[in-house]
């Protein structure tokens, strides 16, 4: 049976009622003033290319994070999670501020994600009102109390952490907006002061407080999604458009039974850096840079494609990847070199820079000790995956009623997973087996979704055959059609 989107009121059974009850229990029987709902997301195609500025194609899912929030007379941010044993309560004195979670490899706590959204909104409101110092911004900030309940499986590739950051940012906006001149808070009219697009950008930037250098796909989908539609999301500038999926398309989300916290590992940030350096090397060696710039100004693979006049046709960049990143050689190391394995010293020689300059202009806080970089493999994935996104959208647009449409979409999803596994190396044996199980059970296409290294796969199926697939032994976590993005509801008990 297909799941439906959550009801838009606070009296239904479920997480909305749970956060209200717990808010009353923990805060002297006071009612919250607002309820926030932010969905998770499943990426249908376009994995690990948002931070290279290429378009992605996700959809929001029913499973959401809910926050009940209200102002407090105390100068604190008081946070309660429905799962208190797993996620203990936390209180921050506003005067102490929040400069971010530790970057020493420790896993961020749940409250760090909330406080990242809180800090992001405070910074944005302060900038809008010309508040020049952190101390002044904190002095104007209201105390607040919040209760969180999430139905998004954690560490599953469904963007539970970004949903919490986005929801926390909106909750903070509701509480703080009057004091910062942004309005009186309230319902959907809050987005007249800070749009959903701006909220997504604020939340994306705020994730630096939990040590993640993401591209913005998760936040854009969770804030901008509309019921019944997938989204093609573009970056720099942020833009989006609806994608109508085939009438008979239904998506199954399946857990691989292994988790990966992407912020706790350097893997994610390593891929960001490898893509950045690949772009810088291509730019340097191809001679495409304007006379008044150098390689340090290049940050993404799409940027270098645009400099070469190939922005609209990313697949044309694959030849240049082979030319500039895949080193030619003979002997036992041939495959490694053909895949673009570069040492730190080799990259410095190509870019004509010191090791300290490479660390400053190309690495990030979590990758300072990297010594080897797989440049060609990562760039091949990005350019080919970017082309698959464009083709996925074209197939949806031109053949929505064609019986062959879902088959073509399935082929693109299968190719995407193969590239993620072999070129970007962000899969794992459990995910590969989950994808194989989907295909053997009769799914049309399947691929990992999210950062990878564990978590979930998404499978495309014919809507009329979902029961048959489960009878064939397909263990589905949930079925989903596209759901609505982030929402706020004034609460009146």
Q: Which of 12, 31, 96, 218 is catalytic?
A: 218
Peptide bond into 384 cis (omega under 30): no
- Give bridge partners of residue 242 from the DSSP assignment: 231
Q: Report residue 189: phi and psi, to 5°.
A: -65, -15
Residues sharing a CB contact under 8 Å with residue 429, sequence separation 6 or more, in sequence order? none
CB 95 within 8 A of CB 64: no
- Mark residue 486 as left, alpha or beta (left: phi above 0; alpha: psi -120 to 50; beta: remaining): beta
CB 114 within 8 A of CB 148: yes
DSSP run (H or E) holding 143: strand 143-150
- Establish whether 218 is a catalytic residue: yes
CB 55 within 8 A of CB 231: no
Instruction: Give counts: helices (H), strands (E), the chain.
Output: 16, 14
**Beta-sheet pairing, 57-72 with 478-480:** unpaired
First to last CA, the chain: 32
- 């500038």: which residue's tokens? 237
In terms of Cα–Cα distance, which of 275, 290, 289 is closest to 383?
275
The alpha carbon of 147 is separated from its chain's Cα centroid by a whole number of angstroms, namely 23
Catalytic residues: 218
């Amino acid at each position: 049976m297909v799941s439906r989107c959550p009801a838009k009121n606070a009296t239904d059974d479920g997480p909305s009622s749970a956060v209200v009850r717990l808010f009353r229990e923990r805060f002297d029987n006071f009612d919250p003033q607002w309820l926030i709902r932010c969905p998770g997301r499943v990426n249908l195609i376009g994995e690990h290319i948002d931070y290279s500025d290429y378009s992605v194609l996700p959809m929001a899912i029913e499973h959401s994070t809910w926050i009940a929030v209200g102002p407090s007379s105390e100068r604190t941010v008081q946070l309660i999670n429905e799962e208190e044993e797993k996620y203990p309560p936390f209180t921050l004195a506003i005067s102490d501020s929040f400069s971010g979670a530790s970057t020493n490899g420790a896993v961020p706590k749940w409250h760090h994600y909330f406080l990242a959204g809180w800090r992001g909104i405070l910074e944005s409101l302060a900038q809008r009102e010309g508040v020049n110092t952190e101390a002044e911004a904190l002095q104007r900030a209201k105390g607040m109390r919040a209760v969180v309940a999430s139905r998004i499986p954690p560490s599953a590739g469904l963007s539970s952490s970004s949903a919490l950051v986005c929801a926390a940012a909106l909750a903070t906006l509701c509480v703080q907006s009057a004091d910062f001149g942004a309005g009186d808070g309230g319902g959907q009219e809050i987005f007249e002061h800070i749009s959903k697009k701006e909220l997504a950008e604020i939340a994306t930037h705020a994730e630096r407080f939990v040590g993640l250098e993401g591209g913005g796909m998760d936040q854009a989908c969770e804030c901008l999604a509309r019921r019944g539609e997938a989204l093609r999301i573009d970056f720099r500038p942020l833009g989006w458009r609806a994608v109508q999926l085939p009438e008979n398309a239904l998506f199954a989300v399946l857990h691989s039974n292994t988790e990966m916290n992407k912020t706790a590992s350097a893997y994610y940030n390593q891929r960001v850096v490898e893509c950045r350096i690949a772009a810088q090397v291509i730019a340097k060696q191809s001679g495409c840079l304007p006379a008044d710039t150098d390689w340090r100004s290049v940050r993404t693979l799409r940027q270098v494609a645009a400099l070469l006049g190939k922005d609209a046709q990313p697949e044309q960049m694959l030849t240049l990847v082979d030319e500039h990143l895949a080193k030619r050689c003979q002997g036992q190391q041939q495959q490694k070199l053909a895949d673009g394995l570069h040492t730190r010293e080799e990259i410095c020689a190509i870019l004509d820079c010191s090791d300290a300059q490479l660390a400053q202009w190309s690495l990030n806080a979590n990758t300072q000790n990297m010594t080897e970089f797989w440049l060609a493999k990562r760039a091949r994935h990005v350019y080919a995956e970017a082309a698959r996104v464009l083709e996925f959208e074209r197939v949806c647009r031109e053949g929505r009623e064609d019986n062959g449409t879902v088959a073509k979409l399935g082929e693109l999803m299968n190719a995407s997973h193969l590239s993620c596994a072999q070129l970007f190396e962000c899969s794992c044996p459990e995910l590969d087996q989950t994808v194989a199980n989907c295909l053997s059970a009769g799914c049309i296409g399947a691929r990992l979704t999210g950062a990878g290294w564990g978590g979930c796969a998404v499978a495309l199926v014919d809507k009329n055959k979902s029961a048959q697939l489960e009878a064939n032994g397909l263990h589905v976590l949930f079925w989903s059609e596209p759901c609505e993005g982030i929402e706020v509801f004034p609460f009146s008990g």
